[in-house]
Amino acid sequence: MRTGGRHVTEPGEGLTPVAQDYLKVIWSAGEWSEAPVTTTLLARRLGVGVSTVSETVRRLTDQGLVEHEPYGAVALTRVGRESAVAMVRRHRLIETFLVRQLGYSWDEVHDEAEVLEHAVSSLMVERMDVALGRPDRDPHGDPIPSADGEVRVPAARRLGEVAPGRWRVARISDEDPSLLRSFAALGLGLDVAVQVGARTASAVGVEVGGQRLELDERSCNAVWLVAE
């Protein structure tokens, strides 16, 4: 990126798209979970074999971007985190732009953003941020890091973990587009008030807009709530 005729190195600049994707996924995997980020977890999220992940993680370790002991968790170094957060910011701003400005639905934007995040310039990302009014979250409720790398994560908990009572939707995981489409049809979206009720062995009763629903474990794990 050039500012006033001077080239400014951005976090992630000079890295391959594969390296950028890995750093972003490593960071995202630990954003809403305290579970260790393993090569098996990364393989599932990236849709590749464990051996491929292990080799790529080794290269990222050699570059000083991640830390990884054999059979241990994968963690980002300070430099790796800076690059990861920069890519997360790009991805989530692009998703937000696609929904707000181009009419995409929230289940369509992830794959588009995966491609565009490697192609757009830092200047375009900044212009998107300004045009959108500097949003602090994406269409799924995930926080958008600021330009200086600050990330403000809401004190949200999974629907399946909260006590009965009135809550508000703060985040819905975008990992499964089919769930996003189902939630949209049910009127379950960001900032919607929900009344969490009785539990059974297989579901949690929820009232949304006067409609009573029974959400299974998969659905409950995808919805994050904050107190009303």
Residue 176's domain is classified under what CATH number? Answer: 2.30.30.90
Residue 31 shares a structural domain with residue 117: yes
User: Same structural domain for residues 81 and 145?
Assistant: yes
Residue 2, in any domain of the structure: no
Q: Is the pLDDT of residue 9 over 50?
A: no
145 and 166 in one domain? no
Mean pLDDT score, 126-137: 96
- Using CA atoms, how far apart are residues 141 and 226, in angstroms rounded to an integer? 12
Partnered with residue 7 across adjacent β-strands are 2
Report the C-alpha gap between 108 and 114 in whole angstroms: 11
Statement to judge: residues 200 and 101 lie in one domain: no
pTM: 0.89
Domain-terminating residue out of 153, 174, 192: 153
pLDDT digits (tens, 9 = 90+) for 20-71: 999 999 999 999 988 899 999 999 999 999 999 999 999 999 999 999 988 8
* Domain that includes residue 161, residue range: 157-227
Task: Say yes or no: 42 and 79 in one domain.
Answer: yes
168 and 132, same domain (yes or no): no
- Indicate the residue type of 95: E
Judge whether 219 lies within some domain.
Answer: yes
Q: How far is it, in rounded angstroms, from Cα 212 to Cα 214? A: 7
pLDDT at position 10 is 52
Please tell me whether residues 198 and 178 are part of one structural domain.
yes
- 139 and 181 housed in the same domain: no
Considering its fold, how many domains does the chain have in total?
2
